[in-house]
Amino acid sequence: MAYKITADCISCGACEAECPVSAISAGDGKYVIDADTCIGCGACAGVCPVGAPVEE
């Protein structure tokens, strides 16, 4: 199941660096996850300081 990043995102970039398939990129005011690329590993959720990445 793919992850998405909620409005809680503080744009720190920790998740982007952790993603093994480069599914995360900077968006408008927050980072975004490409659902088609995301493998649902949860690495992003594990490093996010505010818990913004959640399973869809």
Tell me the domain boundaries of the chain: 3-55
> What kind of fold does domain 3-55 have according to CATH?
Alpha-Beta Plaits (3.30.70)
Q: What is the pTM of this model?
A: 0.92
Residue 48 has which token pair?
Answer: 């996010």
- CB of 26 closer than 8 Å to CB of 13: yes
Mean pLDDT along residues 20-24: 98
Q: Which pLDDT belongs to residue 39?
A: 98
- Under the banding of pLDDT at 50, 70 and 90, the label for residue 14 is very high
Q: Which helix (H) or strand (E) covers residue 45, if one does?
A: helix 43-47
